[in-house]
Amino acid sequence: MALFIGIIGLPNVGKSTLFNALTGGDAEASNYPFCTVEPNLGVVVVPDGRLGELEKVLQPDSCTPTTIQFTDIAGLVRGASKGEGLGNQFLGNVREADALVHVLRCFSQQEIVHVDGDVDPLRDVETIEIELMLADLESVEKSIPRLDKVVRTDPRSTERLEFEVIQRAQEALAEGKPLRDLGLTVEELKAVRSYNFLTLKPVLYVANVAEEDAATGGAMLQRLVEALGKEKVLAVSAQIEAEIAQLPIDEREEFLAELGLAQTGIDRLIQAGYRLLDLITFYTNVNGKLQGWQLPRHTMAPTAAGRIHSDMEDGFIRAEVVASEELVTAGSLGKLRDEGKLHTHGRDYLIEDGDVVQFLFRN
């Protein structure tokens, strides 16, 4: 499943430092604009306590967790929608992402240059959001004459819904509203999927705070939370995360405790990214191989089987399902089967987060 999250932000806000801590990579991170030109790619393991519990109980020969791909995209500047800086390249990379992590500078280190002179994370949010909205508005305005002609010629055209959504989009963007605020239905989203609108993508704002604010967040974080909502903002100190990434694993917990942190910012970011993409995890344990698989929420069982192999989807018969918590408590699938607690489902079953599934299918 080629889902990925794009890491965006103005130049010199800590994107590449965060990306390196996130992926263990070596993306260049320097004190000048456009240090990152080509996007850096990294695949990271999703922290999963359930998988660890299942591994202890089932003792498989191998255990494979789920992953997410993050991409460090070049910094954007004001005027990117008109080609300023690396504008066209930046917007193209953003368009390919499934969701966005917007890194905001919330520290005032004087020796690190800010492209706008002073540090103001709310202004930075507005700068990038405006550029994304302008790019979407350009796409909308290019399509309206063609759609208007099609619908006038044939009022029953299949493109009528697309035209209606595009008209609403034009109105919203002209008023400075991102398209994610329109509350489009599933059918409406399908109608405009080909546009790959930038402001339809879900966004998580990451406040890159100073080291001394890692535990509390500081005043700039509070401003972001008040303006954007607590659920949309995550505080991380990229510099501290970079330091943690260099420590041996057995020393990290003590280091976190000294800082008053229960979990690394990187783990919190990965988990938040998983939620941002609205993914769930189900598990299989076949031939000594325990594996986690990611799926969009509300996915039916045959499609889930297809995540493993297309033949399993085509030949799907049924799925035997148990919640991971039940399996951990029972200790084995055999015991649950004997107790009649292994549930059998057909094609219309929606896979739930934490399901352990055995698919039966025709070869």
Domain stops at, among 254, 275, 296:
275
Question: Which band of pLDDT confidence, cut at 50, 70 and 90, is reported for residue 85?
Answer: very low
If one counts the domains in the chain, the total is 3
Q: What is the mean pLDDT of residues 266-284?
A: 91
Rounded distance, CA 357 to CA 324, Å?
Answer: 9
Q: What is the mean pLDDT of residues 48-73?
A: 92
| Closest-CA residue to 72 (of 55, 90, 48, 51) | 90
Residue 261 domain-assigned (yes or no): yes
Domain stops at, among 147, 180, 200:
200
Question: Which band of pLDDT confidence, cut at 50, 70 and 90, is reported for residue 30?
Answer: very low
| Closest-CA residue to 269 (of 128, 102, 140, 115) | 102
Same domain, 263 and 152: no
Same domain, 309 and 163: no
Domain stops at, among 200, 230, 263:
200
Long-range contacts at 290-293 (CB < 8 A, ≥ 24 apart) = 290/51, 290/54, 290/55, 290/58, 290/60, 290/62, 290/63, 290/64, 291/63, 291/64, 292/46, 292/48, 292/51, 292/64, 292/65, 292/66, 293/66
Same domain, 94 and 8: yes
For residue 112, the model assigns a pLDDT of 56
The residue type of 315 is G
Instruction: Look at the block and give the residue holding tokens 């800086």.
Output: 85
Same domain, 283 and 357: yes
Instruction: Look at the block and give the residue holding tokens 């299942």.
Output: 54
Question: Which band of pLDDT confidence, cut at 50, 70 and 90, is reported for residue 281?
Answer: very high
Q: What is the pTM of this model?
A: 0.83
Rounded distance, CA 125 to CA 359, Å?
Answer: 46
Is the model's pLDDT at 133 over the cut of 90?
yes
Q: What is the phi/psi pair of residue 16, to 5°?
A: -70, -35
Structural domain including 287 reads 279-361
Same domain, 17 and 77: yes
Is the model's pLDDT at 329 over the cut of 50?
yes
3-state secondary structure of 99: strand
Q: What is the mean pLDDT of the chain?
A: 86
Structural contact between residues 244 and 270, judged by C-beta atoms closer than 8 angstroms: no
- Residue 75 DSSP label: P
Question: Which band of pLDDT confidence, cut at 50, 70 and 90, is reported for residue 37?
Answer: very low
CB atoms within 10 A of CB 61: 8
Same domain, 188 and 210: no
Strand segments, DSSP code E, in the chain are 4-8, 40-45, 62-64, 67-72, 99-106, 203-209, 233-236, 279-286, 289-296, 316-323, 343-345, 355-361
| pLDDT tens digit sequence for 230-259 | 999 999 998 898 889 888 888 888 888 888
Same domain, 99 and 165: no
CATH number at residue 300: 3.10.20.30
Same domain, 178 and 81: no
Same domain, 161 and 296: no
| pLDDT tens digit sequence for 98-108 | 999 999 999 87
Q: What is the phi/psi pair of residue 301, to 5°?
A: -55, -45
Same domain, 18 and 155: no
| Closest-CA residue to 17 (of 201, 272, 244) | 244
Same domain, 14 and 103: yes
Residue 347 domain-assigned (yes or no): yes
Rounded distance, CA 228 to CA 205, Å?
Answer: 9
| pLDDT tens digit sequence for 120-132 | 999 999 999 998 9
Lowest mean pLDDT among 8-17, 87-96, 214-223, 235-244: 87-96
Tokens of 74: 């070049």
Is the model's pLDDT at 25 over the cut of 60?
no
Rounded distance, CA 83 to CA 350, Å?
Answer: 44
CATH number at residue 160: 1.10.150.300
Question: Which band of pLDDT confidence, cut at 50, 70 and 90, is reported for residue 72?
Answer: confident
Residue 160 domain-assigned (yes or no): yes
